[in-house]
Amino acid sequence: MMQNVSESLAGRVGVINMLGLSTSEIDAVSSEVFTTDSERLMKRIEKAKKLDLNDLYTRIFKGSMPKLYADDNVDLEMYYRSYIDSYLKRDIKDLTQVADEMAFYNFMTVIAARTAKPVVYAEIASECGISSPTAKKWLSILMSSHIIALVQPYYNNLLKRVTKMPLLHFLDTGLCAHLLKWGNPEALERGAMSGAFFESYVFSEIYKSYLNAGKEPPIYYYRDKDKKEIDLIIYENGALYPIEVKKSASPGKDAIKHFSVLEPITEPEKFGELSQTKMKIGNGAVVCMANDLLPIDAKNWYVPVWMI
């Protein structure tokens, strides 16, 4: 519709990105922006609906398409097959000219297998038998149609060893599972990609919590050349809030061991930077399969995945 309007409409139109249903919407719980603030998390305990491991992977396997929750009789396999078919034949042709639909479908499958992993265009191109510029172009198509999101690495002059590769997440885990031919939630939970699906599910829920509030998600990740990683970082109001994602019910204190890599930003003067660049490190969280909200130390908490 926007393409057919001759005027720019700048300042006269509101654009709200709407993805699949969030867990809050599915459970008819009031939606709110995810936070690592312990007081707000404690209030959410009363509202959120608990999910055990089986329930969670049933949700991950099913995905977030509204039709699947409006009608329990919908055949999941047929639904996603039809969705992909119509996406390739209609939406893709509207966005750009993709001459070979089968090649693009294979590309989507390769991207699905890389959910929760950094993007290396040369590797993707080699695996798909296309050029790196084509891989980059096709990835931008998946981004434009909100099939995937690319999470940029958090960069600061004080953190000089940070890698520059974006992190890829499929925004609908059900579509991702269909592309990779997972047949049921139990096989997915026991499979080699169980952790990656868990991480992408957590990311998509936090990402949607911002979009549903009409906000741009301020989400980054951290990875340096020493392979120290922080799965997600929320950057708000001059503070960084580190988040680690673990499928385990009791991850242990090692889950937050890499949070310390951010400490140089709290004392920039020691590293020859201006004091004005000083930032705060806020409360951290380990989103996991714990049964309850539990403290790790004075600033970090285990957050059950059903609370996000």
* Strands of the 167-170 sheet, one edge to the other: 117-118, 167-170, 148-151
pLDDT string in tens for the chain (308-residue length): 667 777 877 888 887 888 999 999 999 988 899 999 989 999 998 889 999 999 999 999 999 999 999 998 999 999 999 999 988 777 776 666 666 788 899 999 999 999 999 999 999 999 999 999 999 999 999 998 899 999 999 988 777 678 889 999 999 999 999 999 999 999 999 999 999 999 999 999 999 999 999 999 999 999 988 889 999 999 999 899 999 999 999 999 999 999 999 988 888 777 667 677 788 999 999 999 999 999 999 999 999 999 98
Pair of tokens at residue 275: 């004091």
CA 63 to CA 307: how far, in whole Å? 18
Domain ranges for the chain: 34-62+73-307
Write down the pLDDT at residue 265: 87
Residue 125 DSSP SS3:
helix
Write down the pLDDT at residue 14: 80
CA 9 to CA 202: how far, in whole Å? 35
Burial of 98 (0-12, 13-18, 19+ CB in 10 A): middle
Write down the pLDDT at residue 274: 66
Write down the pLDDT at residue 79: 96
Write down the pLDDT at residue 95: 60
Pair of tokens at residue 160: 């000089």
CA 245 to CA 229: how far, in whole Å? 11
Identify the residue whose tokens are 């491991």.
Answer: 53
Q: Which residues contact 52 (CB under 8 A, 6 or more apart)?
A: none
**For helices 121-128 and 101-112, angle between their N-to-C axes, nearest 10 degrees:** 130
Pairing of β 239-245 and β 284-288: parallel
Pair of tokens at residue 235: 């950057």
Of 198, 219, 222, residue with least CA distance to 209: 219
DSSP string for 20-54: S--HHHHTT---------HHHHHHHHTTSPP--HH
CA 190 to CA 240: how far, in whole Å? 33
- What is the pTM assigned to this prediction? 0.92
How many Cβ atoms sit within 10 Å of the Cβ of residue 4? Answer: 5
How many Cβ atoms sit within 10 Å of the Cβ of residue 264? Answer: 17
Residue 254 DSSP SS3:
helix
CA separation, residue 99 to residues 58, 93, 173, 241 (Å)? 36, 9, 27, 43
DSSP string for 269-285: GGGT--GGG--EE--EE
Write down the pLDDT at residue 94: 62
